[in-house]
Amino acid sequence: MSSDEKKSVLIVDDDITVRKLISHHLKRNDYSVIEAEGSTQAFEELKKGDIDLVLCDVTMEEMDGFTVRFCDS
């Protein structure tokens, strides 16, 4: 990856307000942001391509963040 490419961040949170707030600040700092409202959507995004960082809520109904880290996508 060249230094000119934006780093990509996947935000996983079931609270849209939290996702939008984090997304707004990351985009202002020149990150490429992908949002997912739960683990199923997050795994689909991870399969699509390179993600440099995942920020995941630990208290989601579908699958909590502690469980997500042990899943093999």
Alpha carbon separation from 50 to 8, 14, 16 (Å, rounded): 8, 22, 23
pLDDT in tens, 23-51: 999 999 999 999 999 888 988 998 898 89
Give the distance from CA 8 to its chain's centroid. Answer: 9
Q: Which pLDDT does position 52 carry in this prediction? A: 94
Alpha carbon separation from 44 to 1, 16, 21, 28, 73 (Å, rounded): 22, 18, 22, 25, 8
Give the distance from CA 28 to its chain's centroid. Answer: 16
Whether the pTM exceeds 0.75: the reply is yes
8-68, CATH topology level: Rossmann fold (3.40.50)
Mean pLDDT to the nearest integer, 41-69: 80
What are the boundaries of each domain within the chain? Answer: 8-68
